[in-house]
Amino acid sequence: MVSTFTGKIVAGLGAGIVLMAILGGTGCASTPASMTTGGGRIVALSGLPQVDAAIASGKAPFIVFYHSPRCGFCGGMLKGMKRDLPDFGAKALIYTVDIDSNTDVRDSKDIGPVPVVVFYKNGHEVNRWRTFRPAFVVRKTLKKFFQG
């Protein structure tokens, strides 16, 4: 006979596995290769000097997506961003930073648990998400941010 406590743990694990599948397979968001589509760019950054240079040179709106390869939620959000990138407009720019490989960036930029999405306009931070957002929220917010 399985105890109620053990049953709750098993049920919780099962729900977590289902959520991971919904968010993007097993969901690892390893540092993505840079990609360009007709609707924008995703650029992987590495190291604090490269991140600082990208932020300092940004005039048009852009975001920096801080993630971990071990984070299923990060994988789901990244997968959605890649899928929806053409809808964000030709000037959309998304930088990604793997915080496991770039601990200097994590520490310098006050990045706690991931995913973290930081929105910039004219080189200044205007908003910060410190938690997972559902795909429809990410799509709607980024489309408005890049086109508005």
Confidence band, pLDDT 50/70/90 cuts, at residue 3 = low
Confidence of residue 21 (pLDDT cuts 50, 70, 90): very low
The pLDDT of residue 4:
59
More confident residue, 120 or 28: 120
CB atoms < 10 A from the CB of 87, how many? 15
**Residue 25 confidence (pLDDT) above 70:** no
Say if residues 114 and 71 touch (Cβ distance below 8 Å).
yes
**pLDDT for the residue numbered 33:** 59
Average pLDDT over residues 26-42: 61
Say yes or no to pLDDT of 128 above 50: yes
Specify the pLDDT at position 23: 38
**pTM assigned to the model:** 0.76
Residue-level pLDDT at 37: 61
